[in-house]
Chains A and B, each alone.
Chain A
Amino acid sequence: MDVLFILIPAALALGLLGLGAFLWSMKSGQYEDLDGAAWRVLQDDDLQGRHGEPD
């Protein structure tokens, strides 16, 4: 059962990583405009490197 001492912290760490990633994505405003994001992915003006939006 010693394996538990590795597995449980590993499981918790992975969960926390996911939680952290979610909170970060929320803070950086990725949930502000869900409809817009769906459309933006179809724009290819970033290919010409002219008006790419950094954020």
Chain B
Amino acid sequence: MGFLDRDLGSFVTVVGDGIEHMDLAVEGVRCAGCMAKIERGLSGVPGVTRARLNFTDRRLAVEWHAGSLAPGDLVDRISELGYRAHPFDPGAAAGAEAADSRRLLKGMAVAGFAAMNIMLLSVSVWSGNVTDITPETRDLFHWISALIAIPAVAYAGRPFFSSAFQALRNRSVNMDVPITLGVLLAMGMSLAETFTGGRHAYFDAAVMLLFFLLVGRYLDMNMRRRTRAQAENLAALKGETAAKLLPDGAIRSVPVSAIDPGDRVLVAAGERLSVDGIIETGSTEIDQSLVTGETAYERVGPGDRVYAGTLNMTGALTVQVTAAAKGTLLDEVNTLLEVAQTARSSRLALADRTARFYAPLVHTAAALTFIGWLAAGADWHAALTAAIAVLIITCPCALGLAIPAVQVVASGLLFRAGVLLNAGDAIERFADADVVVFDKTGTLTCPERSVVAPRAVSGETLERAGRLALSSRHPLAAALVSHAGGKAPFHGAMEEPGRGVRVEVDDAELRLGSAAFCDVPADVAGAAETGTDSLVWYREGSGTPVAIAVTQALRPDARDVVAQLAERGLRTMILSGDRASAVDVAAEALGIADRRGGLKPADKIAVLEDLKASGHKVLMVGDGLNDAPALAAAHVSMSPITAVHLSQAAADAVFLGDRLAPVVAAIDISRRARRAMDQNLWFAALYNLCAVPVAVFGFVTPLIAALAMSSSSVIVTLNALRVRTEARRLGIGSGAD
């Protein structure tokens, strides 16, 4: 793993009393056995005071006496146990979200406690009202209810109140505004009734409403947190670190977040760059495919600019880190991204659109009720009671849950299908999409390379080359590894960074690497070049050199996915930054007629804008840095987990694995979810249609309010759960965990 030579000090936090702490993301944990093995294995290391693996997020917390061991030893110990672990950047771990979710859970507990106890008293009052409760007992019960409800609402209602306040301050309306208004008015009126010894109080309705809504919000939050945790683990496992060159010449492995412009970073051959910068020393070939989509390598040397996400193929580099400067690719991408994101922030989620339409309607209905009763000759107290009853019963319980409940169920299904959502409202936008635009390199093709025609090379040769490749860290070698046939690497194999691997076996020297490394005559090497594939040469002693062509093949299910999308009535299209000839090859293989090659980030956006102008809703799937603006500009977007940071952040969802199937699953699940959302909204409308007249004419008692609100919430939630059974019947969203 190469951690022994690197200082992991930046990942360690001191937790007092000479104890140090480090969090690691662990790969390969599948069962309780793994958990026990890792914990026991680490507890055996002298100095370790605590090792605990969180099975839910696959994270390991280790604590030890400061100075008793080097953090790198722990990583090596875990890899001895057979797992891959990567230290976690303490700065990146989302502390704020965990605190938020804990606050929601606490609010939920308080609201739940209050709802139960108030209900206990309310049921007594309801049954007492129709039998022989004395006014004194009723008043006592109302007072006790008030004493429980006031602090409970003040505590549990905070998330809604603050969000409603924020919306009003921005002169807009969200769903929390009618919720807050309903709760506060119900509380106010109940208190007034209690003071005057009235028959009806609505404390139970107010608290129960908060409880139901908090349950929905907590589930939603939890699902998003789980998704985030998974994405963070993957980021840590990808090793988002850089080897920082300290002024005294020492090398320290630090998280990317701790690198500043001006720092110098060492990039070995075969490593992916994690920073943007200018080459100070060294020259190499750079694979830009993750940045521009271009599959041919580019030669760079001192003074040239390199980008995070590119792959350093042949030589070691020292890179001076720079911020995005004017006129660079990164600068262009950032500018486009900003524009696209501003346009995006004005987009309204379905829930907010509903609230915007619903809130004025309800508030007008309440006002009309008040005026109507006054005009009909009622006293103002009766008129106000009826008006407030309208607000309470139309209380957006069903509406407030209609969309979040479906979102929770759908994002759970998507999670199991390998799709991690960045934005909660992405689901409804996925359902709208009618054109799917793919980037080619790294999206339609696998991010990793594989051997083009394994059968063209003799099996034995390929196996030996594969075993040699096991000793190399080079990205091209990785393509050969799977052909090693499960055998161990050659003993004593030596890698010459950026050139190749060699080993002595039975008096013959086996070499795997560049043409020059294998002493291939220039004319032979030139003749073998195809222009689209990379060549790896293999030679035994002075025998005939064998060229093994390696390329980024199409994803195994790309063809099927394109066919399935067509079946669902979606148009597919390729927009790539790669050469048109390379794009044509892929498009022909997949049967996609609509394709453009050689596009700059701005060109991609222009195409998307054209599609938008002709009324299409575009789902953009891309991974490169050059795709980031298009991902943000598209109606909805996805990127594979192998994508560069900026693109993952710009996309609405990230999908895992080697296959493209999650794209289809996302559309299928989202369409079903969208249908359930619509059903829920219609149900809520219908419910209001029935409930409002009852309230307007003054028939609402606390009993009716409580029954109507809880039953509508339950119905909406059950309908949301139906999405899951429906999806299970169709076999989507299961298995791939």
Could you list which residues of chain A lie within 8 angstroms of chain B, going by C-beta atoms? Answer: 1, 4, 8, 11-12, 15-16, 18-19, 22-23, 26, 31-36, 39-40, 42-43, 45, 51, 53, 55
A sample of 22 cross-chain residue pairs with beta-carbon separation below 8 angstroms, ordered by A number, consists of A4-B137, A4-B140, A8-B121, A11-B117, A12-B148, A15-B113, A19-B109, A19-B110, A22-B109, A26-B102, A26-B106, A33-B54, A33-B55, A34-B56, A36-B35, A40-B32, A42-B32, A43-B32, A45-B40, A51-B40, A51-B43, A53-B39
A9 to chain B, nearest CB (A): 10
- Please tell me if B689 contacts chain A, counting CB pairs below 8 Å: no
In contact, B109 and A36 (Cβ under 8 angstroms): no
Instruction: Report how far A30 CA is from B137 CA in the complex, Å.
Output: 41
Nearest opposing residue in chain A for B144, CB measure: A8
Instruction: Report how far A33 CA is from B56 CA in the complex, Å.
Output: 5
Contacts of A31 in B (CB 8 A): 105
In contact, A39 and B109 (Cβ under 8 angstroms): no
In contact, A35 and B117 (Cβ under 8 angstroms): no
Instruction: Report how far A55 CA is from B49 CA in the complex, Å.
Output: 13
Nearest opposing residue in chain A for B43, CB measure: A51
In contact, A35 and B55 (Cβ under 8 angstroms): yes
- Please tell me if B431 contacts chain A, counting CB pairs below 8 Å: no
- Please tell me if B192 contacts chain A, counting CB pairs below 8 Å: no
B226 to chain A, nearest CB (A): 10
In contact, B109 and A23 (Cβ under 8 angstroms): yes
- Please tell me if B36 contacts chain A, counting CB pairs below 8 Å: yes
Which 9 residue pairs are nearest across A and B when measured between Cβ atoms? Answer: A36-B55, A39-B32, A19-B113, A33-B54, A35-B56, A35-B55, A33-B56, A22-B109, A15-B117
Contacts of B43 in A (CB 8 A): 51
Classify chain B: how many residues form its interface, as a range: 20 to 34
- Please tell me if B65 contacts chain A, counting CB pairs below 8 Å: no
Candidates A15, A18, A39; contact of B35 at CB < 8 Å: A39
Contacts of B39 in A (CB 8 A): 51, 53
- Considering only residues 548-565 of chain B, those with a C-beta below 8 Å from chain A are none
- Considering only residues 109-128 of chain B, those with a C-beta below 8 Å from chain A are 109-110, 113, 116-117, 120-121
- Please tell me if B31 contacts chain A, counting CB pairs below 8 Å: yes
- Please tell me if B722 contacts chain A, counting CB pairs below 8 Å: no
Give 14 A-B pairs besides A34-B56, A42-B32 with Cβ atoms closer than 8 angstroms.
A1-B137, A4-B140, A8-B121, A15-B113, A18-B113, A22-B109, A23-B106, A26-B102, A31-B105, A35-B56, A36-B56, A39-B35, A45-B36, A53-B39
- Please tell me if B206 contacts chain A, counting CB pairs below 8 Å: no
Instruction: Report how far A51 CA is from B210 CA in the complex, Å.
Output: 44
Instruction: Report how far A22 CA is from B671 CA in the complex, Å.
Output: 38
**Interface core residue of A1, A33, A53 (most chain B CB under 10 Å):** A33
- Please tell me if B6 contacts chain A, counting CB pairs below 8 Å: no
Instruction: Report how far A23 CA is from B110 CA in the complex, Å.
Output: 9
Contacts of A1 in B (CB 8 A): 137
Given contacts A1-B137, A11-B117, A12-B117, contact A36 B54 (CB under 8 A): yes
Contacts of A36 in B (CB 8 A): 35, 53-56
- Please tell me if B52 contacts chain A, counting CB pairs below 8 Å: yes
Contacts of A8 in B (CB 8 A): 121, 144
Instruction: Report how far A10 CA is from B148 CA in the complex, Å.
Output: 14
Could you list which residues of chain B lie within 8 angstroms of chain A, going by C-beta atoms? Answer: 31-32, 35-36, 39-40, 43, 52-57, 102, 105-106, 109-110, 113, 116-117, 120-121, 137, 140, 144, 148
B46 to chain A, nearest CB (A): 15
Contacts of A32 in B (CB 8 A): 54, 56
In contact, B106 and A15 (Cβ under 8 angstroms): no
Contacts of B35 in A (CB 8 A): 36, 39-40
A43 to chain B, nearest CB (A): 5
Contacts of A51 in B (CB 8 A): 39-40, 43
Contacts of A11 in B (CB 8 A): 117, 120
Instruction: Report how far A43 CA is from B116 CA in the complex, Å.
Output: 37
Given contacts A51-B43, A53-B52, contact A16 B113 (CB under 8 A): yes
Candidates A22, A34, A43; contact of B36 at CB < 8 Å: A43
A41 to chain B, nearest CB (A): 9
Instruction: Report how far A41 CA is from B148 CA in the complex, Å.
Output: 38
B251 to chain A, nearest CB (A): 36
A39 to chain B, nearest CB (A): 3
Instruction: Report how far A50 CA is from B57 CA in the complex, Å.
Output: 26
Nearest opposing residue in chain B for A45, CB measure: B36
Contacts of A4 in B (CB 8 A): 137, 140
Instruction: Report how far A35 CA is from B57 CA in the complex, Å.
Output: 9
Contacts of B116 in A (CB 8 A): 15
Nearest opposing residue in chain B for A21, CB measure: B109
Instruction: Report how far A15 CA is from B110 CA in the complex, Å.
Output: 10
Nearest opposing residue in chain A for B36, CB measure: A43
Instruction: Report how far A16 CA is from B116 CA in the complex, Å.
Output: 11
Contacts of A39 in B (CB 8 A): 31-32, 35, 55
Contacts of B144 in A (CB 8 A): 8, 12
Contacts of A23 in B (CB 8 A): 106, 109
B243 to chain A, nearest CB (A): 33
Instruction: Report how far A4 CA is from B121 CA in the complex, Å.
Output: 11
Contacts of B120 in A (CB 8 A): 11
Instruction: Report how far A31 CA is from B66 CA in the complex, Å.
Output: 29
Instruction: Report how far A19 CA is from B120 CA in the complex, Å.
Output: 16
A21 to chain B, nearest CB (A): 10
Instruction: Report how far A34 CA is from B116 CA in the complex, Å.
Output: 26
B38 to chain A, nearest CB (A): 12
Instruction: Report how far A8 CA is from B143 CA in the complex, Å.
Output: 12
B55 to chain A, nearest CB (A): 3
Nearest opposing residue in chain B for A36, CB measure: B55
Nearest opposing residue in chain A for B147, CB measure: A12
Contacts of A19 in B (CB 8 A): 109-110, 113
Contacts of A18 in B (CB 8 A): 113
B39 to chain A, nearest CB (A): 7
A51 to chain B, nearest CB (A): 6
Instruction: Report how far A8 CA is from B52 CA in the complex, Å.
Output: 44
Contacts of A33 in B (CB 8 A): 54-57
Nearest opposing residue in chain A for B117, CB measure: A15
Nearest opposing residue in chain B for A50, CB measure: B40
Instruction: Report how far A22 CA is from B108 CA in the complex, Å.
Output: 11
Instruction: Report how far A8 CA is from B116 CA in the complex, Å.
Output: 13
Instruction: Report how far A15 CA is from B119 CA in the complex, Å.
Output: 12
Nearest opposing residue in chain B for A22, CB measure: B109
A3 to chain B, nearest CB (A): 12
A30 to chain B, nearest CB (A): 12
B734 to chain A, nearest CB (A): 17
B43 to chain A, nearest CB (A): 6
Instruction: Report how far A36 CA is from B56 CA in the complex, Å.
Output: 6
Instruction: Report how far A33 CA is from B102 CA in the complex, Å.
Output: 14
A12 to chain B, nearest CB (A): 6
